[in-house]
Structure 1
Amino acid sequence: MNIALIAHDEKKQEIIHFATAYKHILEKHELFATGTTGKKISEASGLDVFRFQSGPVGGDQQIGAKIAQDEMDMVIFFRDPLTAQPHEPDVSALLRICDVHRIPLATNLASAEIFIRGLERGDFEWREIIKEKLAKKD
């Protein structure tokens, strides 16, 4: 699966700990991240992470484009709900496009842990099955 990892500044340490703790699961998937988050995760965990631009300069929109092109399967976005974000319209657009395209979206540690355990069990394989069926129709 293609998984996007994003974190606001105040949540970067939390997503680094998350990625390190669940490295054994995440390393089985293709990982994508916004710039600084991806760099920090990769440095701390050794995971291979494709990095887009930083969120405020277009990274959130780049991930949104991947979702719209059906090239992203899950988004783990540790949001900071207590700090105003200068790129809030981009964040809102990303959340909206996840809903439009039925992309599983975790916005905090609790939901991310549920998703990661689901990945470990194979609960998200339905996304791959649907993609295969749609590809056969084309």
Structure 2
Amino acid sequence: MPATPTLALVAHDAKKDAMVEFARRHQDKLAVFELVSTGTTGGRILEACPDLKVTRLKSGPLGGDQQIGAMIAEGKLQGLFFFVDPLSPMPHDVDVKALMRLAVVYDMPMALNPSTADILLRSARLQGLKTTSATPEVGSLSS
């Protein structure tokens, strides 16, 4: 695991405002993590929270979801915050499902809405990542 744990912040179009508000509300907690985000979501977060260090990847439909999936598979990501919009059709729905499947396969802490994200950010599992360099084993659960 890297010296600083990495979290991914992703949001569907209808949920980008919720993700920006989440980042604004938890700016101090998020600042201790490396952050990666898909293109537009990352840009919106940076506008609202310029002090956060966010690495922007490609837009989700253009490969950003797959980039984050690769980070999960390579053990380079320790948490996924993906605010999904279940009411809008997504042309890249297969990529979204693949990303969530990888998070489940690798036992990645994942929040799909702001309420769960609030809880996950306070969890012992993420808090422990900031103080230890041990990599959780696939299939382990400690929170």
TM superposition score normalised by structure 1:
0.88
- The residue correspondences of 1:5-44 to structure 2 (distance < 5 A) are 5-44=9-48
Corresponding residue SS for 1:28: coil
Contact 1:75 1:105 in 2 (8 A): yes
Q: Secondary structure at the match of 2:77?
A: coil
Matched residue, 2:59:
54
The match for 1:64 is 69
What is the alpha-carbon distance in structure 1 between the residues aligned to residue 132 and residue 12 of structure 2?
A: 27
Q: Which runs of 5+ in 2 are unaligned?
A: 138-143
User: Once the two structures are aligned, what percentage of the paired residues are identical?
Assistant: 42
Q: Determine if contact 1:118/1:124 at 8 Å carries over to the other structure.
A: no
* CA distance 1:77–1:129, shift in 2 (3 Å): same
Does 2:73 match 1:88? no
User: How many residue pairs were aligned?
Assistant: 132
The answer to which structure has the higher helix fraction is 1
Output the CA distance in 1 between the equivalents of 2:49 and 2:121.
16
C-alpha contact 2:120 2:126 (8 A) present in aligned 1: no
CA 1:98–1:120: 2 relative to 1, 3 Å: closer
Aligned partner of 1:6: which letter? V
Taking only aligned residues, the RMSD between alpha carbons, in angstroms, comes to 2.1
Structure 1: runs of 5+ lacking an equivalent: 133-138
1:38 is aligned with what amino acid? Answer: G
